[in-house]
Amino acid sequence: MILIPILCLLLGAAIAFLVNQPLRGEFGIYIAVACLAGLDSLFGAMRSSQEGKFRTDVFVSGFAFNTLAASGLAWLGDRIGANVFLVCAFIFGTRIFNNLSLIRRHWLTQWQDAQLKKRQEALQAQAAASAPNQQAKAN
Amino acid sequence: MMNPFAHRVSLNPQVAAVSVFAIILGYMISTAWITNESRFGSRDADQRERLALGTIDQQDKVRQQSEEIARLQAQLTKLQNAVGKDESAGRLLNQSLQELKLFAGLTEVRGPGIMVTLRDGPAEGTDSMLPTELVIHDRDVLKVVNELWSAGAEAIAVNKIRVSARTSFRCVGPTILVDDNKIGTPVVIQAIGNSEQLKTSIEMPGGIWDEIRQTDPRMITVEQVSKMDLPAFTGRTGFKIGEAVVAK
């Protein structure tokens, strides 16, 4: 299952490395929070698509709003002396791990179902193969 | 419902939306990475290790360049003397120049004076003493140098590093920085001047000598020297910000 979004993620990363333009000053911290929010949105989209609940409008608005809100709140927190950065890291970290575990469970279930199906098919094939044999013996 | 993650080639709107934002996210993550590295340096080598290695390299370089500067200063003095021999105006000019250089510490100086040696106290210490009191600090060196200046010393060197008008003494971990040179105990402070006067001044009751002796008498020794050479100042001498005001 090669995923176009993952290829796109790598493509974006490659472009940024080629551009090689570090952000000036304090905004480096806030883009880190925005990254966490974006990762959370992406994993969330992955999970919801597995559950068949993916909606483009929810994803797009969630991505844009969460990244902006996270970095904006972190910036505001630094201005007023509350460490919102840690809050963002904690909340998004929790959500990312939560999403990841759900994705993993989904994949595991899928794989186990496939194995079960394969075994059942094998059993059926065996039964079908042995049925004529028994007939032949009886004859 | 479509699964935007399960499609290989087909670019339906959902896959497109997720892909576009994946590009943006990838770009953001890389930028954060680059920004972080540019701020804290590469993660490949331990920062302290690299710093230590770099410092050692720099120390060798500084030593080499100091020797070079001392050589060039001596050469310059010779050349100025040679030029000054020809004309009387030039000679006068050179004379005042040499006086100024002597004052600024740009030439080697020879003469009588005293030698103050500061040592860390015994490692075991005593119950009443804090361990930090048994160590020679930058401020001890600074105080001794200051008292020597006020007692009329004409030239001072600390561990063979000439003290100039711009010299600073700082504490860096277990060592003392004299300008950019690291020194450790024993700290030998040589001062050229009237040795009798310098000795009595430095051994003044209530002064730094007294203060250090109260901790441990072995930590400070003062001896008179009939003749010694102090090296020339080899630190930076240039002006970047200020400029001379020339009288019109």
The residues, any chain, with a CB within 8 Å of residue A51's CB and separated by 6 or more, are A106
B122 and B208 both lie in a single domain: yes
Q: Are B171 and B184 spatial neighbours (Cβ–Cβ below 8 Å)?
A: no
Residues B126 and B215 in one domain: yes
* Mean pLDDT on B105-123: 88
Residues of B in contact with A63 (CB under 8 A): 21, 24-25
SS3 content of chain A, % helix, strand, coil (to 5): 85, 0, 15
Write down the residue that tokens 């003469």 correspond to: B111
C-alpha dihedral, B218 to B222 to B227 to B233, nearest 10°: 90
ipTM value for the complex? 0.77
pLDDT at B109: 92
Q: Is there a domain that residue B28 lies in?
A: yes
B218 inside domain = yes
Q: Does the beta carbon of A79 lie under 8 angstroms from any beta carbon of chain B? A: no
What are the chain B neighbours of A67 within 8 Å (beta carbons)?
28
User: Does B34 lie at the interface with A, CB-CB under 8 angstroms?
Assistant: yes
pLDDT of the residue at A133: 64
Give the rounded percent of residues in chain B with a pLDDT score beyond 70.
83
Bridge pairing between strands B187-192 and B169-172: unpaired
Residues A85, A78: contact at Cβ < 8 Å? yes
Shared-domain flag, residues B82 and B123? no
Strand partners, B229: B110
Q: Is B236 helix (H, G, I), strand (E, B) or coil?
A: coil
For residue B168, give how far its alpha carbon lies from the nearest alpha carbon of chain A (Å).
32
Other CB atoms within 10 A of residue A49 CB? 23
- Please, what are the averages of pLDDT over each run of 10 residues along chain A (139 residues)? 75 87 74 90 88 87 92 88 87 93 91 92 88 62
Residues of B in contact with A16 (CB under 8 A): 26-31, 33-34
* Residue B216 located in a structural domain: yes
Domain span including residue B64: 52-108
| pLDDT at residue B50 greater than cutoff 70 | no
Residue B189 has a CB neighbour count (10 Å cut-off) of 23
In the structure, how many helices (H) and strands (E) does chain B have?
6, 8
The enclosing H or E element of B118 equals: strand B109-118
Please indicate, yes or no, if residue B240 is contained in any of the structural domains: no
Residue B77's pLDDT band (cuts 50, 70, 90): confident
Domain coordinates in residue numbering, chain A = 20-124
Weakest-pLDDT range from A23-27, B76-80, B168-172, B181-185:
A23-27
The torsion region of residue A20 among left (phi > 0), alpha (psi -120 to 50) and beta comes to left
* B162 and B219 housed in the same domain: yes
What residues of A are in contact with residue B35 (Cβ under 8 Å)? Answer: 22-23, 27-28, 31
8 A C-beta contact, residue B126 and residue B159: no
Asked whether A4 and B19 are in contact (CB, 8 A), the reply is: yes
Rounded mean pLDDT, B140-164 = 92
CATH of the domain at B215: 3.30.70.1880
d(CA A24, CA A8): 26
Structure tokens belonging to residue A4: 């176009």
Residue B104 lies in a domain: yes
CB contact B20 to A (< 8 Å): yes
Task: Name which of B54, B234, B212 is nearest B135 in CA terms.
Answer: B212
Task: Among B10, B27, B42, pick the best mutation site for testing chain A contact (most A Cβ within 10 A).
Answer: B27
In a domain, B2, yes or no: no
Q: Do A35 and B28 touch (CB under 8 A)?
A: yes
